Structure 1
């Protein structure tokens, strides 16, 4: 048990995964920020490593409480997995994701939100 944990810490240090997480904070924030312009979106939350979320506007959720599940379905059809969490969906790409992959995921979410807005 302890040996496995120490080996895991060695991989994290050796592969620079903490630094990559810090880089992804910026990449996710930049890629997802434009999603805040959607009428359904209340805010885009980012800034904690490789974890971000798109929160729905309260008035949108009041009339359509299933929006997080709907966005999950739309995004999944476009190859992006998000987690519905209350008033939002969370996105946490793997630390090996490239900037291009993050941008592609953000674009898929943009298209998915537009589909929900139609």
Structure 2
């Protein structure tokens, strides 16, 4: 579920017999509950609004920042195949990985 550029993950909570949403990519936690999509959207909006207000009051950036760097551990045979494909295409492994990751997360 998405609202104003913020994305939430929705899961069913059997103990509560409700759906629970968690807003992703924040510099803190914000969640919400609802019985159905309409209620979830309304609660998402309320929860996000409260979170953003608190961030503004406390001078906190609402979105978590990312460095653009992370390490990935892969099997040596996959590393070798990636290196060969990258070399054959005249690219770096990093460029090849960026393309693959971009395709995976493209909306």
Fold equivalence (TM over 0.5): no
Larger RCO, structures 1/2 (Cα 8 Å, 6+ apart): 1
Give the greater-gyration-radius structure (CA).
2
More helix by share: 1
TM norm structure 2? 0.32
